[in-house]
């Protein structure tokens, strides 16, 4: 998703998690992906040494993978959440199409 890297947008993403009853903690650790997701406790631990861009991208990566109850979200959060999911779906479709093209053998006319 093409989201501007601003403190306001980071706060909007954090609000979606908060409204979904997830706790975001910025901690140090050796995370291979920059974050750790404890689903049964609804805790997201993000590497505190990430830049703002890294934090936003990490939260964007996590968001489609968590349980979210849209009914308890504000209208603004619902709109952003839908944009994130739509962007993820487009990215996944493009990736699948590229993989299909690589796997399909090309034939040359004789």
Residue 93 is classified by DSSP as H
108 domain-assigned: no
Predicted confidence at residue 59, as pLDDT, reads 94
Which of 68, 17, 70, 84 is closest to 45 using CA atoms? 17
- For the chain, what's the residue count? 110
Query: 3-class DSSP state for residue 45?
Result: strand
Instruction: Answer yes or no: are the C-beta atoms of 31 and 45 closer than 8 Å.
Output: yes
For residue 32, being part of any structural domain is answered with yes
Average pLDDT over residues 72-94: 90
Check pLDDT > 90 for residue 101. no
| Half-sphere CA count of 43, side-chain side, radius 13 A | 8
The per-residue pLDDT for 99 is 79
Q: Range of 55's domain?
A: 7-99
Residue 104 within any structural domain of the chain: no
In a domain, 106, yes or no: no
Q: Which residue has the higher pLDDT, 95 or 83?
A: 83
Inside any domain, residue 63: yes
pLDDT score of 96: 83
Number of domains in the chain: 1
Q: Which of 33-47, 64-78, 95-109 is predicted least confidently?
A: 95-109
């Amino acid at each position: 998703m093409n989201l501007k890297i601003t403190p306001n947008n980071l706060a909007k993403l954090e609000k979606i998690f908060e409204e979904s009853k997830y706790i975001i903690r910025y901690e140090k650790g050796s995370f291979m992906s920059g974050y750790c997701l404890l689903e049964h406790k609804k805790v997201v631990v993000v590497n505190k040494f990430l830049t703002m861009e890294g934090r936003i991208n990490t939260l964007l990566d996590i968001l489609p993978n968590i349980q979210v109850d849209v009914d308890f979200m504000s209208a603004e959060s619902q709109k952003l959440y839908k944009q994130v999911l739509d962007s993820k779906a487009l990215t996944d479709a493009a990736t699948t199409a590229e993989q299909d093209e690589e796997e399909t053998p090309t034939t040359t006319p004789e």
